[in-house]
Amino acid sequence: MASDEGYLLTDDGVRLYFRKLGSGARTLVIPNGMCILEAFDYLADTRTLIVYDVRNRGQSETVTDPAKLARGIEQDVDDLDAVRRHHAVDRLDLLGHSYIGLMVALYAIRYPAHVNRVVQIGPAQADALKEYPAHLRNNDATFAEVMARVAQLQKEPRPTDPEAACRRFWDVLKHIYVADSRDADRIDWGRCHLPNERNLMPYWMGTILPSIRGLGLRPADYAKARVPVLTIHGTKDRSAPYGGGRDWAAMLPQARLLTVHNASHAPWIESPAEVFDAVKVFLDGKWPAGAQAATQV
């Protein structure tokens, strides 16, 4: 399989790290996908797969100029278009997990002419302020326990070994991402050897999350995403409410929802065949079995 890596420049001169696998005629881009690449690299067998670290994350350049961070997720959307142009792709497919699932939907809204198909997996809800009823979120005992342990970690003195502190944080947090805690060791998303990832929480809380809360999307915005979207969401997701996935599938004009029962934020762990097959079938041009229209919550 052909493989390449390097850096590209955004419109304001920030360097983003990317990897390129495969050589198929169709191009699939997975923003911020390095930590899930091992699960989805099978998609490079029949297409060109581009995975990159978004701004101020992973191996991409650390951004110290506040003006280059101020737009948050909207800047990530524009950076994605810089990735597309760097690789000379007219129309691309997109796969986004977690808050990047929201970001790729925003890209389809802002740049519909350059999108073929979009896969959202456990996407963050479009309206960050919306509260979902108990059966559409999973604030269970595990969630409460993990949040309490995270709060305790944050009260501890400033660590002398930031990498070790990052690993401790992820050793706690990983339990919310799987339905069964016995699967928690299969979550390896910390990348604690990278300074950007060790400094993630201030960037997330101070920049990305406020920008998501300020989106204020309206029906006319969703209508601009004139492309097929497959939203895959686990019913036991503690990080992004299942109700949010239902709302995305209801509000985007050509979207369907694949519900993965008894799965959490990484539903390919609980139901690998269902998720991996559905993604491949959809990107090959068909709706997978089980994908259904949804109504807004």
Q: Rounded distance, CA 7 to CA 221, Å?
A: 32
What pLDDT score was predicted for residue 296? 87
| pLDDT class of 186 with cuts at 50, 70, 90 | very high
Say how many CA atoms lie within 13 Å of 221 toward its Cβ: 11
In this predicted model, what pLDDT tens digit does every residue of 241-253 receive, in sequence order?
A: 999 999 999 999 9
Annotated domain spans of the chain = 3-137+207-283, 141-200
For 179-193, give one letter per residue: b (16+ CB within 10 A) or e: beeebbeebebbbbe
Q: Rounded distance, CA 280 to CA 285, Å?
A: 9
What pLDDT score was predicted for residue 159? 82
CATH architecture for the domain at 3-137+207-283:
3-Layer(aba) Sandwich (3.40)
Q: Is the pLDDT of residue 1 over 90?
A: no
Q: Is the pLDDT of residue 138 over 80?
A: yes
Q: Rounded distance, CA 129 to CA 136, Å?
A: 15
Read off the pTM: 0.97
Q: Is the pLDDT of residue 2 over 80?
A: no
In this predicted model, what pLDDT tens digit does every residue of 83-116 receive, in sequence order?
A: 999 999 999 999 999 999 999 999 999 999 999 9
Q: How far is CA 259 from the centre of its chain?
A: 17
In this predicted model, what pLDDT tens digit does every residue of 55-83 receive, in sequence order?
A: 999 999 999 999 999 999 999 999 999 99
